[in-house]
Structure 1
Amino acid sequence: MVQQGWVVSQVNQGFPALNTMFPGGTDMTVLNELPSWDWSSLFRPHVWGYLLFGLNVGMAWHWWVPAFVLVSSCYLLAVTLLPRRPVTAALISIALFFTPFLQWWYGPSTLFSVAWPLLAMAAVVWVLVDTRRWVRIVWSVATGYFAVTLAMGLYVPYIIPGLLVFLTFSVGFLFRVRPWAVGGARAAWGRLTPLIASGLAAIVITAVWALTRIATFDAIQSTVYPGQRLAATGGVLVGDPYLAGIGGAPWNQALKAIPGGSLLGLNSSESSSVILLSLFVLPGLIWFAVRSFGSKHRVDWLLVSAVLLFALIAAYLLVPGWDAVAHVLQLDRVPAERFRVVFVVLLPLFAILVVDHVDRAETKRAWIVGLCCSVFAAVIIFALWSRIRSLNPEILGLAPTWKIIAVLLVLMTLLLFIKRGVVAAAAMLLVASVLMGWGVNPIYQGVFDLSKTDTGEAILKADKAETGVWIGIGSYETMAILVESGVSSLSGVQNYPTEQMWDEIDPTSKYENEWNRLGQVQWSLGTGALKIANPQANLIAVTVDPCSSFAQDEVSYILADSPVSAELDCVLEKSTIQQGQVEMRIYEIVPAGRG
């Protein structure tokens, strides 16, 4: 809702780089993935629809382009490593899209944080294996381009886990194919040159973008909330001591019905997780990796690197006491609950690694390993079910298909290790994923533009007659209508505080700790001195006297969804608009004695 409000505001203001709704303006090229006529939009393909086709088509474009990139990237990686299994690749890719974590946190920054490492890993394979220069260049350019897209999304807690997977995979695959064995180190560097050059170009472009917006970044970094937060190692056990949240994907269907917090998490989004396929098949990958050391072939360093990566992730989530090392690795910039995104990236990767090994294995006994892994998966699911049943049994009743999902996951784990069962395993993964993620985001057509409502048109009419600054009091809807109408307003969700606006509201900076944060600016009327408080970390509640010098000088209009108290002076009702079941009122701030 926050992002859509800013999008409509951008449409109504003509897609400026600096949106002037808040006094002083807000940079639209940083945070929230918003459309603007700025050069940085060249690297945001998901906003092109707004700029080229308008609001309604633009919203659909914004929704589906990241999804297309995600599914395509997953398919490309899968079909690159499993060229004879296009159906399996397609099923896994679609299953990834329906992962509950992605559905509940759906947005460009989330989807690109998963799509890019998958695309980049596929690129590593092609640049190291394919001898055609143009192929290596195409893959490198695509990877570099979307690296900029990912970086401009700016959500570091999602970027770092995917980057970690990519780097680990790259090292493992490099040692698996050993390109220096044929042609020496020079030949190996020659193959990697296009990808390295593309990466450096992406870094330069991102640096230019950031440096030309350094004031905005300084404002964001200096906020009290969210500010710069570092997480401690072993943090998952603090917020999720029973691991029901991180492992609760089979019961994520309940998140659509749970009104608040539960054993799974604080709310539906925070509770969403991912099928822990990487954990289910981990014993099998460990077995394959260990056996490769004693085989007549070379050690499979790709499997070894994957196992070591999982060990590092598990250590960060579960083992406290090594914060200094985690800081060097930048892991502490990712809160434990956000680190779940790494398991989304690992889901297709570990499935692919298992199938790749099974397809290349000379023995037909991999099913024994698969059986052990399926028993391991069953034990994990049973342990989680036992905890949920004893501590929060309501969840079980709100997830009616969890038993079906559990059976599918156990069978899927077994069939992944059987050559003829791989397609069936991928199909089961898809069915389980759809059962968990379907309906989280209902399909709808078009955008409900609040500026086109009767209230929105009344606001624009009043502002056109005499331009002024607005505040909204009452429900969230008053703020949303003002934001989408594009008028100058002190109500809305600020990404960071604009200096001009808060110099006007709080010239002595008495309440700087309260307003220097990302949050919703919510107004109410009262008497006496202006007051600012934080009922919650991301809410800035301002109480103002309409007769105060600030209101008289800086505020022109009030939009309210209920009558203003008759005891308050300096407020004059201009119009009443029937908006559905609610009467919206527009008031004008006037000198004392006229209200």
Structure 2
Amino acid sequence: MNNYLAAEARNHCVCGGLYRLYHVGIFVLPLSFALIYLSLFVNYIDAFYGTVGFTIANPMLNDDRAVLFVAGLTIIFVISVIKLVEYKSEFLYKYRWLIGMTVALLAVAFKISGSSLGMWSIMLPENADTPFWGIPRSLRSDEFSVGTLFQLSQSHNGYAPISEILRGDLTDVRMVYGAACWSVITLFRPVLWGYLLFGFEFGLAFAWSAKLCLMVLVSFDCAFLIIKSKPLSFLFSCLLCFSPLIQWWGTGEVILYGQALVLLLDRALFTQKRNIRIIALAAIAWLCGCYIMLMYPAWMVPFFFIFALMGVFRTTEYCQTLKSNNQHSVLAWSLIDTFVLVSCLLISAGLIFLSFFQSSEAMTSVMNTVYPGARFETGGSGLPELFSYAISLFYAFDSPLVSNECEIATILCFFPLGTLASLLCFIKRRDWQLFLLTALQLFFLAFAFIGFPSFLSRMTLMYNVPVLRLLFPIGYLELLLFLISVEKAKESQGNNSSIGYLSIILIIGLILSSAFQIFILLSAKYLVARMLYLLMFILFCLFSCLSFRSYILGKKCTGLFVAFAICFGVIPGLCINPVQIGAAPITDTNLEALVNQFVEESDYSDKWVVDGSWTVANLCAAYGAPVINSTNAYPDLARWNSIDENNENECAYNRYAHVIANVFAPSTSFNSTQDDLFTVNLTEDDLRQLNVKYVMSSRDLTEFSSDKLQIRQLGSANGFVLYELTY
């Protein structure tokens, strides 16, 4: 008997040892992926700054052993987070909002953002300053050369709704420019509140860091309502919020507001306290205004369908609860609730109408432009980018053949596995919620790959949606459907369910999907380190299969999904945008001191022109100079018509446009070289007509002095010279 027990103990120890070895082996896969990924990225950072001749600001990355340091830090961080979540998961879940808000406050306090304004250290001579981590992205020019500079410009304007700085003329910044201002519309743009309350640098950090923290929290809670699994909801949140698509676009408000609406509706319905319901209903009305004021229907329309469906699910469940024996667990709907909701919606609608009325002139001008003008899409052009969801993970340090990573960046969504698995679930179990989500996905796919007749596009509002913009909503739904299917597969284990084979199908599907991704990877000839990427993707595929298989079989997988989220979601996402501390590349330059010196001495009637550069034109406007060739978010037709004989070139400048101005040209001319750019050649008479007093240029303009025009050099900074014109 004793020998038998001893043998059993030995077998148990051996099995336990083998399991621990297997467990460690699984965790080695994502860690290996992360280490290879980060070593490639650190080398890429070093090569990038070596090319432009800069020393990296972070001293840790200047050392030859930077790769080893980052690798060690990564291992310690990942293991620490895994252990923390495994042992304190309930504590972290209970206080997730407090923890998230603390992280956001610390990020704002330290002025941490993901802005690429560090590009100005490269674009301006004698202005060397680099981010703490990563590299600024030249692709993000609309952020660091337009949007961020507009916000800085508003700080010189007292955040007034009408600016005399931008365009060098009276300019409505409320609707079209989307700049921070003391106006009704800003009530519905909470991302901009930081600029008004804390100033430019803290406001920039608030717009980036606080938004990202909120997005992670809201995405987790919203996914948990649908998926009913904390580990899978956490994975959904990380893969979504740190996805290449969201990080390259530097946005995400559409999912922040939409998912928050779903959560507030759930809170309003499933509460036993009237005051909580009233607050939630008021917040719903406000968030509806926030969603509308995004003013980007290409994403608003498809995501409206998604979040409306989620709202229907919560409302239906509430009605079922009222009809069941559990009806006393929630508060019944009353006329007071209807009155509060309708009243709040009417107030929001009134404020939105007031905002549109105040900016009606600017909006009318935009609608009548050549670009962007009116849009009408019928789809049908196809969306092959959906099948290469893994390739975009490598765009942080490898360039695709296209010039714009934003256009082809995707979410790590395992397409089309989620759609196929959810169809199987519906066939076997008649899950109507899953059916509606899958039907909506098929609706989007039909628009993308087949196309709609014009009348159907108009009826469904899909005429506002270019096919490429469907990458976001389709990727969102696909990831959600895939994780729901994984949860259904887990439920089917051991209970003789009619979808008992779903787990096998999911694993086989993962293997086939992985094989297809490997084929795409090997076919992409432009990729520099294809073999390393192949190794990384094999690690990703193996870990995906093992982790989801373990979860489906009922194993404890919290640590696995934390490793999945960090190594395949957070780390690649944090390598896309830089970690920028403060805004020194634009707020601490010699050019700023030069511009401020003469802006303070003159009023807005003395106009400025920047010769040969639309980016520096926007930078001077950010410093408070009324620059006429700063980006025209809507055209200043009166100005350009005044120097365009018979308005012959109105087609060139009647658009949203960056403006390149060349001064002292022999004749006046306009030339539109791309949709959002035109070049204007200005003669001496044009400068006089436009009341231009200051010209910033990298050329020597004194040679154009004459008896009728005196040109005096006022100073120079960062490779540019400021001239004063006296007529």
Answer whether contact 1:251 1:402 (CA < 8 A) is retained: no
Residue 358 of structure 1 deviates from its aligned partner by 5.0
SS in 1 for 2:721: strand
Residue 459 of structure 1 deviates from its aligned partner by 2.4
Is residue 2:656 matched to residue 1:542? no
**Distance in 2, Cα, partners of 1:131 & 1:278:** 40
**Distance in 2, Cα, partners of 1:475 & 1:284:** 53
Q: 2:248 aligns with which of 90, 104, 127?
A: 104
Unaligned runs of 5+ in 2: 1-143
**Distance in 2, Cα, partners of 1:90 & 1:188:** 32
SS in 1 for 2:647: coil
Is residue 2:515 matched to residue 1:382? yes
**Distance in 2, Cα, partners of 1:463 & 1:118:** 44
**Distance in 2, Cα, partners of 1:59 & 1:10:** 13
User: Taking structure 1 as reference, are residues 491 and 571 closer, same or farther at Cα in structure 2, changes over 3 Å only?
Assistant: farther
Residue 55 of structure 1 deviates from its aligned partner by 1.5
Answer whether contact 2:377 2:457 (CA < 8 A) is retained: no
What amino acid does structure 2 have at the position aligned with 1:282? T
Answer whether contact 1:409 1:432 (CA < 8 A) is retained: no
Return the TM-score normalized by structure 2: 0.71
1:121-145 residue CA offsets vs partner (Å, 9 max, x unmatched): 3344444544544444343333332
Counterpart of 1:274 in structure 2 is: 411
Counterpart of 2:9 in structure 1 is: none
Counterpart of 1:296 in structure 2 is: none
SS in 2 for 1:37: coil
Counterpart of 1:313 in structure 2 is: 444
**Distance in 1, Cα, partners of 2:630 & 2:379:** 36
User: Taking structure 1 as reference, are residues 385 and 227 closer, same or farther at Cα in structure 2, changes over 3 Å only?
Assistant: farther
Q: 1:453 aligns with which of 589, 592, 598?
A: 589
Counterpart of 1:71 in structure 2 is: 216
1:450-477 residue CA offsets vs partner (Å, 9 max, x unmatched): 4653222222323444542111113455
Q: 2:201 aligns with which of 56, 64, 68?
A: 56
Residue 266 of structure 1 deviates from its aligned partner by 3.9
User: Taking structure 1 as reference, are residues 114 and 364 closer, same or farther at Cα in structure 2, changes over 3 Å only?
Assistant: farther
Residue 197 of structure 1 deviates from its aligned partner by 6.2
Q: 1:137 aligns with which of 278, 303, 323?
A: 278
Residue 93 of structure 1 deviates from its aligned partner by 2.0
Unaligned runs of 5+ in 1: 294-299
Is residue 2:525 matched to residue 1:428? no
**Distance in 2, Cα, partners of 1:412 & 1:207:** 51
User: Taking structure 1 as reference, are residues 539 and 418 closer, same or farther at Cα in structure 2, changes over 3 Å only?
Assistant: farther
Counterpart of 2:260 in structure 1 is: 119
**Distance in 2, Cα, partners of 1:538 & 1:342:** 26
**Distance in 2, Cα, partners of 1:387 & 1:278:** 14
Residue 391 of structure 1 deviates from its aligned partner by 5.0
Q: After the TM superposition, which of the residue ranges 151-160 and 500-509 deviates more from structure 2? A: 500-509
1:241-275 residue CA offsets vs partner (Å, 9 max, x unmatched): xx1x233331223323345x52xx44121121111
Equivalent residues in 2 for 1:198-347, closer than 5 Å: 201-235=347-381, 237=382, 240=383, 243=384, 245-259=385-399, 262=401, 265-277=402-414, 279-293=416-430, 300-346=431-477
**Distance in 1, Cα, partners of 2:392 & 2:681:** 40
1:290-345 residue CA offsets vs partner (Å, 9 max, x unmatched): 2224xxxxxx3211111111111111111135342122101121111111120353
**Distance in 2, Cα, partners of 1:223 & 1:7:** 24
Which structure has more relative contact order (CA 8 Å, sep 6+)? It is 2
Q: 1:40 aligns with which of 162, 182, 185?
A: 185
Return the TM-score normalized by structure 1: 0.85
What amino acid does structure 2 have at the position aligned with 1:516? N
Answer whether contact 1:23 1:501 (CA < 8 A) is retained: no
Residue 437 of structure 1 deviates from its aligned partner by 1.9
Q: After the TM superposition, which of the residue ranges 112-121 and 187-196 deviates more from structure 2? A: 187-196
**Distance in 1, Cα, partners of 2:368 & 2:513:** 43
Answer whether contact 1:127 1:192 (CA < 8 A) is retained: no
**Distance in 2, Cα, partners of 1:179 & 1:197:** 27
Counterpart of 2:506 in structure 1 is: 373
What amino acid does structure 2 have at the position aligned with 1:255? Y
1:164-187 residue CA offsets vs partner (Å, 9 max, x unmatched): 101223334545665397299x96
Equivalent residues in 2 for 1:511-526, closer than 5 Å: 511-526=649-664
User: Taking structure 1 as reference, are residues 181 and 450 closer, same or farther at Cα in structure 2, changes over 3 Å only?
Assistant: closer
User: Taking structure 1 as reference, are residues 405 and 393 closer, same or farther at Cα in structure 2, changes over 3 Å only?
Assistant: farther
Answer whether contact 1:450 1:485 (CA < 8 A) is retained: no
1:1-29 residue CA offsets vs partner (Å, 9 max, x unmatched): 11111111100111110111224322221
User: Taking structure 1 as reference, are residues 20 and 372 closer, same or farther at Cα in structure 2, changes over 3 Å only?
Assistant: same
SS in 1 for 2:567: helix
Answer whether contact 2:370 2:654 (CA < 8 A) is retained: yes
Percent of aligned positions with the same letter in both sequences? 17
**Distance in 2, Cα, partners of 1:146 & 1:207:** 15
Counterpart of 1:297 in structure 2 is: none
Answer whether contact 1:70 1:97 (CA < 8 A) is retained: yes
Answer whether contact 2:594 2:715 (CA < 8 A) is retained: no
Answer whether contact 2:711 2:723 (CA < 8 A) is retained: yes
What amino acid does structure 2 have at the position aligned with 1:420? K
User: Taking structure 1 as reference, are residues 501 and 553 closer, same or farther at Cα in structure 2, changes over 3 Å only?
Assistant: closer
**Distance in 2, Cα, partners of 1:201 & 1:217:** 22
1:183-215 residue CA offsets vs partner (Å, 9 max, x unmatched): 99x967879846676555544432332233211
SS in 2 for 1:276: coil
Is residue 2:540 matched to residue 1:405? yes
Is residue 2:580 matched to residue 1:444? yes
